[in-house]
Amino acid sequence: MRLRLAGAVLLSAAAYYVYVPLPSGVSEPWKLMLLDALFRSFMQASDVAHALGVCHRVHLLNRVVSWVEVIEARSCPAVHVTDSELGGVPARVFQPKGGKRLKRGVLYFHGGGWALGSGRMRSYDLLCRKMAEDLDSVIMSVDYRLAPEAVFPDQYHDALAASRAFLSSPVLERYGIDPQRVCVSGDSAGGNLAAAVAQELSSDDSIKVKFKVQALIYPVLQALDFYTPSYQQNQAVPILYRPYMARFWLQYLGADPSLEPLLLANNHSSLDQPAIGANIRSKLNWRALLPAERRKHYRPVVKETGSLGVMGKVPQLVDVRAAPLLADQEVLGRTPKAYVMTCEFDVLRDDGLMYVRRLQDAGVAVTSDHYEDGFHACMVFAYLPMMSSVGRRSMNNYIDWLDQNL
């Protein structure tokens, strides 16, 4: 009897920890709850280790990720897989066997808040293998440097160096890549890097080979407004909670973590900030850039007065290399044809949707692929043990778009 009672208590405690209220429309809520419970456990353990001075919270998280997810480069009958370098930056290369002599090429940047993850993770390895086989394409998944050891612009510089090498004649010739059919892509923080690289290289006349398309998967594109409708609607929706995103931004920009409450209150983008003029504000004015069905009943949170010292301490907040949404229209107009995936239950939804609108206004052809039941990072959970249905759908549609447009 005591054993049964203890078991019931433990089961109840586990259910209490796992359960979080989720929006009714989210895909497979119990799978997401279990995934979230696992992530929260790791995050809380890393916070304790950080507070005790054992190690930086990010280091513990990455050790867990490496232990659970990172796998060796193993070829299979359809795809040859090797670890190499691109412009001095580590990269995993996936080459389809057979097929056409000239292949399409995709340069991919993984997500993880510029601090976590690797292109050698099982989830990205499986994604890139499928892309290589289905598209008969050479895929190069880049392992850029990570925070806290590397901070902006280090990750951007790694992405740029890898991109320049990828587009160079020696690399294109070595891997048999068609220079007319190359793409830059990435998810979340990797989508940020892909967008920033696409902007930079499309305006660089010294680069002979240009990306034909850019494919951005739930990208993070700005850090001035943490009260967009999607930040308000999804602030407590797994797996990317609103405070986590502010923390990732501060780590990426090498800023004081104590600034997190100021960012979350939008004190850093108050009307009295001289570094944020009307031109910048117009580029993230979601009342004008978002359709009514996404604005819903939400109201902007714009402080008249805020913390004037923040922009002086973190001027990178308005650097377009870190925040591609803030780029000028003429720069956007030179970028390649675009695919932008967004998810309804993701704090970053409106970053992507505003970028879609700004690209369209600049004359760029854009496919906006929105998932009404999607959540942040769903595409990388397309395989077991999670095997999210929306993850599988989104991955297949992403690959189909590349097949039709690259």
- What pLDDT shows up at residue 5? 44
Mention every residue, 6+ apart, whose C-beta is less than 8 A from residue 75. 81, 82
Whole-number CA gyration radius for the chain: 21
Residue 210 has a CB neighbour count (10 Å cut-off) of 16
pLDDT tens, 198-229? 999 999 999 999 999 999 999 999 999 999 99
pLDDT tens, 22-39? 999 999 999 999 999 998
Q: How confident is the model at residue 2 (pLDDT cuts 50, 70, 90)?
A: low
- What pLDDT shows up at residue 57? 87
Superfamily of domain 28-405: Alpha/Beta hydrolase fold, catalytic domain (3.40.50.1820)
pLDDT tens, 228-253? 999 999 999 999 999 999 999 999 99
**Looking at 373, 376, 388, 394, which residue is catalytic?**
376
- pLDDT of residue 51 exceeding 50, the answer is yes
- What pLDDT shows up at residue 184? 98
Active site annotation includes 297: no
Active site annotation includes 188: yes
**Looking at 188, 202, 270, 394, which residue is catalytic?**
188
- pLDDT of residue 45 exceeding 50, the answer is yes
Strand segments (E) across 189-298: 213-217
Handedness of CA 68, 249, 242, 46 (dihedral sign): positive
- Quote the Cα angle for 149-154-156, to 5°: 140
pLDDT tens, 359-397? 999 999 999 999 999 999 999 999 988 899 999 999 999
- pLDDT of residue 156 exceeding 90, the answer is yes
- What pLDDT shows up at residue 10? 40
Residue with the two structure tokens 């979350």 = 264
- What pLDDT shows up at residue 309? 84
Measured in residues, the chain has a length of 406
- What pLDDT shows up at residue 362? 98
- What pLDDT shows up at residue 386? 86
pLDDT tens, 116-137? 999 999 999 999 999 999 999 9
Active site annotation includes 269: no
pTM of structure: 0.96
9 compared with 195, residue with greater pLDDT: 195
Domain boundaries, the chain: 28-405
**Looking at 346, 351, 369, 373, which residue is catalytic?**
346
Mention every residue, 6+ apart, whose C-beta is less than 8 A from residue 148. 56, 58, 115, 251
- pLDDT of residue 343 exceeding 70, the answer is yes
Share of the chain above pLDDT 90, in %: 84
